[in-house]
Amino acid sequence: MTTSSHTTFQTADGVTLAYDVQGRGTPLLCLAGLTRNMDDFDPVVTHFSDRAMVIRLDSRGRGASDFTDPATYTIAQESADALALLDHLNIDRAAILGTSRGGLIAMVLAATAKSRLSGVLLNDIGPELDPAGLAHIMDYLGRPCAYRSYADAAEKLPVALGAQFPNVTREAWLTYARRLWTEGPTRLALRYDPRLRDAVESAGATGETPDLWPLFDALDGLPLALLRGENSNLLTRACAAHMQRHRPDMIFAEVKDRGHVPFLDESESRDVIERFLAQVAVRVTQ
């Protein structure tokens, strides 16, 4: 269950999804990473709800949303769910801040429902996925958490993730742990359906990596921004540079001391979000 307050709506296939709306202004739909939830966007609410309507969604099988048939844990279905939420809220167009898988959903929507988008900010994701990062994800996806408590996690996470995330405070690691796990009787518990692993394995059954560049190209004409963690193992520096060459107008920053993914509270992240929202606001008024 998420620590955020939330409300719910029901999709066409009867799945109850949790979401939260705070602030006024440009609608900004925040879509989390593969195993993550709306709490990752707490910094966006804190710093930007004075100028944006920050909409956060727990995708099916994550956070406070229903755990359902893992066959529906697909980017195509999650894209449809995002549109269903906009319809539920009577919002014609929204900008999307997509972290990792959320960014893939944003690119799919640009290709399939572009008229619903007013801009896209990609958080450490692009049209090429580094195999090293994918392998790391599969190492932990759907596996029981190894940590006994939040304090135990805060002590050990710097060892497990310190190469990607140096200079992270103990308090920040505690916040990270609370967003990712809940406390159980003997250890921390996942805040997502472990059967998500089955869905990911099924999607990759052919062993072929699809060409995602056409999805990136579908963002043409939309305000676009990109955050890359300096130490990311999923979005390479070469891919980010290639994206910049494709879209020289793209707002971009590399976030120091962060891997996959930036926490969105960093000065670099806040600057990019601010510039992105300003660009989207200009487009909306045109």
**Chain segment 6-38, per-residue pLDDT in tens:** 899 999 999 999 999 999 999 999 999 999 999
Residues 88, 56: one domain? yes
On the question of pLDDT at 154 being above 80, the answer is yes
Q: Quick one: average pLDDT of 238-261?
A: 98
Residues 57, 171: one domain? no
The CATH number that applies at residue 245 is 3.40.50.1820
Confidence of residue 4 (pLDDT cuts 50, 70, 90): low
How many structural domains are present in the chain? 2
Residues 150, 261: one domain? no
What is the percent of the chain where pLDDT is above 70? 96
Confidence of residue 1 (pLDDT cuts 50, 70, 90): very low
Residues 183, 253: one domain? no
Tell me, what's the pLDDT at 142? 96
Residue 239 in any domain: the answer is: yes
Pairing of strands 117-123, 224-229: parallel
Residues 34, 129: one domain? yes
Confidence of residue 207 (pLDDT cuts 50, 70, 90): low
Range from 109-118, 154-163, 193-202, 204-213 carrying the lowest mean pLDDT: 204-213
- Are the C-beta atoms of 86 and 62 separated by less than 8 Å? no
Residue 124 in any domain: the answer is: yes
Q: What is the mean pLDDT of the chain?
A: 95
Residues 59, 24: one domain? yes
Pairing of strands 26-31, 52-57: parallel
Q: Quick one: average pLDDT of 60-83?
A: 97
Tell me, what's the pLDDT at 6? 85
Region of 94 on the Ramachandran plot (φ > 0 left; ψ -120 to 50 alpha; else beta): beta
Residues 151, 230: one domain? no
Confidence of residue 210 (pLDDT cuts 50, 70, 90): confident
Residues 40, 182: one domain? no
Residue 165 in any domain: the answer is: yes
On the question of pLDDT at 204 being above 80, the answer is no
CA dist., res. 221 & res. 279, Å (int): 12
On the question of pLDDT at 279 being above 60, the answer is yes
Residues 212, 260: one domain? yes
Residues 150, 127: one domain? no
CA dist., res. 163 & res. 157, Å (int): 10
On the question of pLDDT at 205 being above 90, the answer is no
CA dist., res. 274 & res. 95, Å (int): 13
Tell me, what's the pLDDT at 196? 97
Q: Between 257 and 5, name the one with better pLDDT.
A: 257
Tell me, what's the pLDDT at 55? 98
Residue 93 in any domain: the answer is: yes
CA dist., res. 26 & res. 95, Å (int): 8
To the nearest 10 degrees (0 to 180), the angle between helices 150-161 and 170-180 is 110
Q: Quick one: average pLDDT of 125-130?
A: 97
Residues 14, 29: one domain? yes
Which structural domain range is residue 227 located in?
7-142+208-285
Cα atoms in the Cβ-side hemisphere of radius 13 Å centred on 11:
23
- Are the C-beta atoms of 61 and 68 separated by less than 8 Å? yes
Sequence-distant (6+) residues with CB within 8 A of 147 are 153, 156, 177, 181, 187, 188
What does the pLDDT look like over 174-184, one tens digit per residue? 999 999 999 99
Residues 277, 172: one domain? no
Region of 33 on the Ramachandran plot (φ > 0 left; ψ -120 to 50 alpha; else beta): beta
Residue 17 in any domain: the answer is: yes
Tell me, what's the pLDDT at 3? 43
Tell me, what's the pLDDT at 2? 39
Q: Quick one: average pLDDT of 86-100?
A: 98
Q: Quick one: average pLDDT of 84-108?
A: 98
